[in-house]
Amino acid sequence: MTKTAIITGASKGIGAAAALSLAKNGYDLFLCGNNSIRELSDICRQCRELGVQCTTYTGDLSNSAEAENIVMQTLSLYEHIDVLINNAGISHIGLMQSMTEQDWNTVLSVNLSAAFYLCRQVVPHMVQQKQGKILNISSIWGEHGASCEVAYSATKGGLNTFTKALAKELAPSGISVNAVACGMIDTSMNAGFTPDEITEICEEIPCGRMASAEEVGDFIALLLKTSPYMTGQIIGFDGGWGV
């Protein structure tokens, strides 16, 4: 039976790379984005050219009703859900005391609450199937924290603990829950850094460079092949930066 995966934040960056990597591995896909309709459609087209079924969905994942719609539509199209990749995320750069409540709540809603909303909808179906894999895309800052990224760091730290706790709940049902804690990845989220800042950061990374989104996508596909016995893990993909 062909496996099916839901991927959020799939219009670009890590989400898009994961979609293409999973398509190469034969997954049918349900790709979710917020408002990047053209980019999302282009990724979907590329996935279909690889011989798999692919559907797109645009909506605000901070709204819990969207999670229900996503899962209902996926089941209607594909009848089962094998993989959920919670990748959607945003950052807010600036001093903590300059943040508004709206700034804080927006980052919290997209980076953490959206993962909860989708897991709440997906898990009953995975439990019924007695199998499934949930993969949360986190960050090195979820463990170490980053100056001027307090909200982002806090939500990724919360996502890490959410991953561990949910893994304990779902392990008896044969469902694994893990997270990938990414380091410096060459995506639009890091496009605000100057070349000099990028050079300075890369000097701190033992591998001496940023990773490409495609490297993360291929790593995600590899993780999905592992035994469900590997669960509750926060797996660093940071070139040794977090060691």
pLDDT digits (tens, 9 = 90+) for 77-117: 999 999 999 999 999 999 999 999 999 999 999 999 999 99
Q: What's the pTM value of the predicted model, to 2 decimals? A: 0.96
Q: What pLDDT, on the 0 to 100 scale, is given for residue 35?
A: 78
Q: Residues 180, 216: contact at Cβ < 8 Å?
A: yes
Domains in the chain: ranges and CATH: 4-237 (3.40.50.720)
Confidence of residue 65 (pLDDT cuts 50, 70, 90): very high
% of the chain residues with pLDDT over 70: 100
CA dist., res. 214 & res. 18, Å (int): 7
Inform me whether the pLDDT recorded for 230 exceeds 90. yes
Q: Residues 215, 184: contact at Cβ < 8 Å?
A: no
Q: What pLDDT, on the 0 to 100 scale, is given for residue 79?
A: 97
Of residues 145 and 189, which shows the higher confidence score? 145
List, by residue number, the catalytic residues: 152
Confidence of residue 210 (pLDDT cuts 50, 70, 90): very high
- Give which of 242, 106, 230, 113 is closest to 178, Cα–Cα: 230
User: How many Cα atoms are found within 13 Å in the side-chain-facing hemisphere of 129?
Assistant: 18
Confidence of residue 190 (pLDDT cuts 50, 70, 90): confident
Q: Where do runs of H (alpha helix) occur along the chain?
A: 13-24, 37-49, 64-78, 101-108, 114-129, 141-144, 150-170, 195-204, 213-223
pLDDT digits (tens, 9 = 90+) for 135-182: 999 999 999 999 999 999 999 999 999 999 999 999 999 999 999 999
Q: What pLDDT, on the 0 to 100 scale, is given for residue 19?
A: 99
Q: Residues 108, 155: contact at Cβ < 8 Å?
A: yes
Confidence of residue 191 (pLDDT cuts 50, 70, 90): confident
CA dist., res. 68 & res. 101, Å (int): 27
Inform me whether the pLDDT recorded for 184 exceeds 90. yes
Inform me whether the pLDDT recorded for 1 exceeds 90. no
Q: Taking the CA atoms of 158, 226, 9 and 139 in sequence, report the sign of the dihedral they define.
A: positive
Confidence of residue 193 (pLDDT cuts 50, 70, 90): confident
CA dist., res. 90 & res. 9, Å (int): 10
Going across the sheet that includes 175-182, the strands are 54-58, 28-33, 4-7, 83-86, 132-139, 175-182, 234-237
Q: What pLDDT, on the 0 to 100 scale, is given for residue 220?
A: 99
Confidence of residue 188 (pLDDT cuts 50, 70, 90): confident
Q: What pLDDT, on the 0 to 100 scale, is given for residue 146?
A: 93
